[in-house]
């Protein structure tokens, strides 16, 4: 029996090391990694620049309290501000903390404006915002919330894609709309550009803040730095995590001037959030992702990947139903059981992960090249051949 509390159904495999798009098991097996720690290892495993950075920083300074100035944090915040819609950034350690901070920031904005009654957030069925209490009840997945009541109040949920229900849900108590720009856990469901534009318009018309959760789809995964950039809109609050740390736990919340205006010293905090070691890694990730041509390459490899998957969909209509996603955030909705499909991929030394709506999620590192995509696709084809 394991000493670890059993909250995960784990595959019986462990890894001793990794490089680029590959993981090596303790049994000396080589796997191609289309999980990337669930959209975390944006630069693959043990990227030279990250290894060098962490070595150097670990010999200088790991942690100081946020009671003091932290130049590495200032630098990462400034770079995020320079490259995005944001005016300010606050750092945490995980995605759930980042979405929770987003909720707090939205409520505080209206409170400080003298409208404390505007404190409810509209969310969408099928979304995922994390496992802390508020983020859990924000998404309100019946399996995830089971047994964890009483319910955390303050969220009004509407069906995904139901414009009428959304409009109806807005009332004098609504502070914000919160949604992932691309639903990850919910089955790689892309919100069409015109709907994101519509959300922005709706928020403007009703004086609401727009929170776009980019924890999974952000930091280059869609081929733009943020997935909402495809729709050419500007949100008010954006929680991020996963890819910004490349494997080091970092979460953050980006805000524009208006949304952040309610937050004063003492209103939020995190012991570890934004410490020098984490921030040096975050800066190193940005060194690569913001390099000229990096995101264009994600778009082009992502497009190639999509084309190959669409060919397989044509060839195996009894197995593959739909190819979804953007950039290197991809999903295939399968007609067989997605767990059976994943098991077969695993047998063939390919790692992928499930998502809602019977989807197999494919999230390779953003540094992947066409030849490694080919390797993954040929394994997917082998599995389709077997399950057809």
Ligand X SMILES: Cc1ncc(COP(=O)(O)O)c(C=O)c1O
What distance in Å separates the CA atoms of residue 287 and residue 283, rounded to the nearest whole number? 6
Q: Do the Cβ atoms of 362 and 34 come closer than 8 Å?
A: yes
> What is the gyration radius of the CA atoms in the chain, in angstroms?
21
387 close to 372: Cβ distance less than 8 angstroms = no
Q: Verify binding: residue 223, ligand X, rule CB under 6 A.
A: no
Q: Considering only residues 37, 44, 95, 126, which one is a binding residue for ligand X as defined by CB under 6 A?
A: 95
Catalytic residue list contains 128: yes
Give least dist CB 344 to ligand X, A.
24
Given candidates 89, 215, 286, 383, which one binds ligand X under the rule CB under 6 A?
Answer: 215
Does residue number 140 form part of the binding site for ligand X (CB under 6 A)? no
Is 242 known to be catalytic?
A: yes
Q: What are phi and psi of 224, to 5 degrees?
A: -115, 165
User: Cβ of residue 143: shortest distance to ligand X, in angstroms?
Assistant: 15
End-to-end CA distance of the chain: 38
Please indicate whether residue 213 is annotated as part of the active site: yes
Options 33, 72, 100, 185; binder of ligand X; rule CB under 6 A: 185
Q: Which residue is nearest to ligand X (CB)?
A: 95
Nearest one of 237, 247, 103, 125 to 185, comparing CA atoms: 125
Angle, in degrees to the nearest 10, between helices 276-289 and 48-60: 150
Question: Is residue 191 part of the contact set for ligand X (CB under 6 A)?
Answer: no
- The residues pairing with 334 across neighbouring beta strands, listed in sequence order, are 320
Residue choice 33, 180, 357, 372 for contact with ligand X (CB under 6 A): 180
Site for ligand X in 100-139 (CB under 6 A): 128-130
Chain residues 24-83 in contact with ligand X, contact rule CB under 6 A: 38
Q: Which strands form 320-326's sheet, in the order they lie side by side?
A: 320-326, 329-334, 359-362, 353-355
If the CB atoms of residues 95 and 262 are measured against ligand X, the closer one turns out to be: 95
**Catalytically active residues, by annotation:** 128, 213, 242
Q: Which residues bind ligand X (CB under 6 A)?
A: 38, 94-96, 99, 128-130, 180, 184-185, 213, 215-216, 241
């Amino acid at each position: 029996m394991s000493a670890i509390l059993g909250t995960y159904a784990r595959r019986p495999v462990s890894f001793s090391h990794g490089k680029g798009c590959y993981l090596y098991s303790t049994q000396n097996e080589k796997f191609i990694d289309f999980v990337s720690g669930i959209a975390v290892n944006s630069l693959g495993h043990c990227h030279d620049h990250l290894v060098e950075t962490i070595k150097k920083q670990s010999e200088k300074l790991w942690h100081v309290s946020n009671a003091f100035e932290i130049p590495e944090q200032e630098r990462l915040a400034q770079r995020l501000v320079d490259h995005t819609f944001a005016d300010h950034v606050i750092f945490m350690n995980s995605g759930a903390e980042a979405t929770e901070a987003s909720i707090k920031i939205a409520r505080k904005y209206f409170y400080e404006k003298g409208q404390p009654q505007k404190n409810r957030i509209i969310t969408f069925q099928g979304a995922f915002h994390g496992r802390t209490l508020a983020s859990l009840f924000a998404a309100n997945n019946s399996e995830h919330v089971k047994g964890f009541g009483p319910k955390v109040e303050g969220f009004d949920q509407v069906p995904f894609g139901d414009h009428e229900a959304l409009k109806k849900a807005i009332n004098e108590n609504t502070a914000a709309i919160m949604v992932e720009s691309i639903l990850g856990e919910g089955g790689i469901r892309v919100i069409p550009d015109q709907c994101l534009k519509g959300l922005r318009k709706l928020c403007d018309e009703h004086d609401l803040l727009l929170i776009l959760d980019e924890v999974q789809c952000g930091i280059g995964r869609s081929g733009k730095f943020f997935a909402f950039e495809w729709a050419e809109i500007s949100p008010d609050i954006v929680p991020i995590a996963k890819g910004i740390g490349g494997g080091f736990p970092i979460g953050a919340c980006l805000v524009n001037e208006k949304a952040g205006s309610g937050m004063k010293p003492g209103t939020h905090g995190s012991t570890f959030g934004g410490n020098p070691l984490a921030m040096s890694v975050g800066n190193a990730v940005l060194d690569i992702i913001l390099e000229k041509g990096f995101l264009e390459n994600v778009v082009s490899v992502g497009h190639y990947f999509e084309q190959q998957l669409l060919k397989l969909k044509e060839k195996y209509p009894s197995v593959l139903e739909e190819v979804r996603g953007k950039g290197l955030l991809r999903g295939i909705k399968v007609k067989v059981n997605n767990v059976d499909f994943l098991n077969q991929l695993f047998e063939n030394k390919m790692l992928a992960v499930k998502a809602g709506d019977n989807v197999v999620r494919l999230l390779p590192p953003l540094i992947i090249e066409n030849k490694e995509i080919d390797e993954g696709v040929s394994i997917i084809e082998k599995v389709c051949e077997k399950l057809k």
